[in-house]
Structure 1
Amino acid sequence: MSISRPDRRLVFLGGVATCLTACRRTEGARTPARLTDLSGRPVKAAPGGKLAIDDGRYLIALALIHPDPVSALAAWSGDVNRIGADMYKAYVGKFPALASLPKVPPSNEAFNVEAVLGARPSTAVVSLGNGPTEAQIAQLDAAGVGVAFIDFFSHPFENQPKSLTLLGALTGRTEQAAAFNEFRKAKLDAIAARVAQIPTDHRPTVFLEAHAGLSPDCCNSPGSGNVGDYIKFVGGRNIGADVLKQPFGKLNLEYVIERDPDVYIATGGPHLAKAGGFVAGPDFTPEQGQAGLRKVASRRGIATLKAVREGRVHGLSHQLINSPIDVVAIEALARWIHPELFSDLDPAKTLAEINNRFLAVPYAGAYWADLAKA
């Protein structure tokens, strides 16, 4: 799960910076004069070649701009846990080739040059902050494989549109990437215009506990980056950002109790089913989601928080974050943090529009919830 500084947000809202120069048409094909990735390095790869990706969520991003995202891949990370077993089944059902696609290590594991070269991609798309070393990049370059760093994690407002633009350029889907970026930007601009009118002293404190209930200890939290960016963007004060200067870390339970936040949000998903945490998606009933949310909110210390006492407890699935789909999560957060100001927002309607207009494989089921009164 990350927070951007105010100046970065304004840069994004003022106009999405592109990560590539103007494209020119040559005999009907798009040939970019130059591509630059999120690390600032030129991408030495011809558009249209197949990709190796180190994060399964990049498959979702590709599905926003490509009718057959699997056909654009030479290899993928195989990290089904990041997209959810239900989503993986849906992709294999529509694109059976995914089940036998070569695999490379995911971004949370050591980069493996041999695995990438064995898949013979045109470009290795890797996560900013991870990926190959300079020596490994040189090996790939010598073998004719380009490297492109992207970021849907650390600084989503600054880097997501650039990353999708780059994916569009690499797959020959530049126009489609621009269309989704425009759609997402319009949604975010509308929220930002309202948030700008909220006085500083009217911004509720928020504790977002990532992977709530996954282990007995507490408390995983976004800091300066990632989901913390979303909280700040919609007019909340993320208590994790005051002590965590990296995108993600851990808070002491005593600190959380002392801050006594106005809003408590637990994130979860299918990976928390065995732990009894918040679950969401087509494989789970609303009752299961409520049971998990109630369990994490009733733990020692958490149960005493103002947010829990006043009924401001919510659950958000990880399947909505760390990809451009996050605009749905942002709308949900806005409703939870400023319910009066954003009562007209409808995240379900936005997700339905994304399903109908963009996604090759639609999202099914509910991916967020409010804890019902007992």
Structure 2
Amino acid sequence: MLPKLGIGFVLAALSLLLLLFSGCAPGGTQSPGEKEGASQAERLLIVDSAGRAVEVPRPVKRIVTINSDVLEVICALGGADLVVGVSDTAKFPPLVKEKPRVGESFTPSVEKIVELQPDVVFGYGRFLKPELARQVEQAGIPLVSLDCYKIETMERDIRTLGLILGRQEEADAYLELWEKYLGLVREMTKDLKPEARPRVYLEGYTDYKTVSAGSGGHELLEIAGGINIAAAEPVPYPQVSPEWVVAQDPDVIIKAVSSRVASGYGASPEEMAKEREAIISRPGWHNIKAVKEGRVYLISSEIYTAPRGVVGFSYFAKWLHPELFADLDPQKVHREILEKFHGLELQGTYVYPEA
């Protein structure tokens, strides 16, 4: 099963039901994309990932999203035509390449956003800058902060988007696929004894920046049946030293690659291969067990902690327990998502090496 919903989401869902069935909602400032004279009954009150109560017009007809993960979910639910603006780094699905750009995800141009007259703007929950929210909302546009990259909040975020877009059935279908594979992996690893769980060094997009409790990567490792060697570190994304990694001597090394390394949809494997060679050639790393045994893997940001993270943790499970998950085919999982929700064939390089 997907993680249980928190009390905040339950309250938000109750608020939504009250608004929908009572036919009235609290008044609010009209957004530029909202029709003149729109009734108060056409607004939804939601609680976003930042814990903010936000009123959103219904139906939503124009969307700007500076959160690429939210963008991917919107498109998966069939709402691509509603998107009128995206961040500079948005690249998936391919159809978003022609969408107007509004700047970086965390420092977008409010002026460009306002010019596009959206009904709503979507940003990242954890990284919401209060000043950005204030500027957007002063322009009369609601800003909703969601994550869509953490397993623990994925169900809540996707259901919230389904409600806002009026695409609850599509959201249910997407989550059904998530639950199928997440449940499978959890069931297979839940009873593994500590000695049967490989010790893993998981490196994020920045060299020697790893993950600890409270991060999406740490959660992935636990679900996939691994032991995070940095689990005891006091912050979610600790910076460690090269010597520390060598001393820990992990059984498996996994590196998440950012956009600076070509990966993901349509990418060839050459850059991922070069990056892996650079990693295993780090000073002293030839002595690490994972390097000696060839258990060093790279994973694209597109399937790491993301809406297609179900593919990512399928690879994690396969890498950590190849015999236990002999029948699990991550490519099949990925193909199912791409074909069913994006109308795309599987192509590109998402991990290296594949097996």
- Report the residue type matching 1:107 in the other structure: S
2:268 to 270, 281, 284: 284
**Secondary structure at 1:207 match in 2:** strand
Q: Residues 288 and 118 from structure 1, CA distance in 2 versus in 1: closer, same or farther, beyond 3 angstroms? A: closer
**Secondary structure at 2:118 match in 1:** coil
Unaligned runs of 5+ in 1: 1-7, 93-97, 213-217, 274-278
Q: Residues 300 and 190 from structure 1, CA distance in 2 versus in 1: closer, same or farther, beyond 3 angstroms? A: same
Number of residues of Structure 1 aligned to a counterpart in Structure 2: 330
Q: Name 2:70's counterpart in structure 1.
A: 58
Q: Residues 371 and 117 from structure 1, CA distance in 2 versus in 1: closer, same or farther, beyond 3 angstroms? A: closer
**Secondary structure at 1:316 match in 2:** strand
CA–CA separation in structure 1 for the residues paired with 2:159 and 2:327: 30
TM-score for both structures, normalised by structure 2: 0.82
TM-score for both structures, normalised by structure 1: 0.78
CA RMSD of aligned residues (A): 3.0
- Report the residue type matching 1:65 in the other structure: L
Report the CA distance between 1:294 and its aligned residue: 2.7
Report the CA distance between 1:124 and its aligned residue: 1.4
**Secondary structure at 1:242 match in 2:** coil
Note the alpha carbon deviations across 1:153-174, whole angstroms, 9 max, x for none. Answer: 4xx1221221122222222222
- Report the residue type matching 2:46 in the other structure: L
CA–CA separation in structure 2 for the residues paired with 1:326 and 1:280: 13
Q: Name 1:263's counterpart in structure 2.
A: 252
1:91 to 88, 92, 95: 95
1:75 to 74, 80, 85: 85
1:1-374 paired onto structure 2 within 5 Å: 11=4, 20-21=13-14, 24=20, 34-47=45-58, 48-66=60-78, 69=80, 71-80=81-90, 83=91, 87=92, 90-91=94-95, 98-101=97-100, 103-109=101-107, 112-133=109-130, 137-153=133-149, 156-211=150-205, 218-224=207-213, 225-246=215-236, 248-268=237-257, 271-272=260-261, 279=263, 281-285=265-269, 289-370=272-353
Higher relative contact order (CA 8 A, sep 6+): 1
Unaligned runs of 5+ in 2: 24-40
Report the CA distance between 1:345 and its aligned residue: 0.9
Report the CA distance between 1:189 and its aligned residue: 1.0
Percent identity over the alignment is 23
Report the CA distance between 1:309 and its aligned residue: 0.8
CA–CA separation in structure 2 for the residues paired with 1:139 and 1:369: 42
Q: Residues 76 and 33 from structure 1, CA distance in 2 versus in 1: closer, same or farther, beyond 3 angstroms? A: closer
Are the counterparts in 2 of residues 282 and 364 from structure 1 also a CA contact under 8 Å? yes
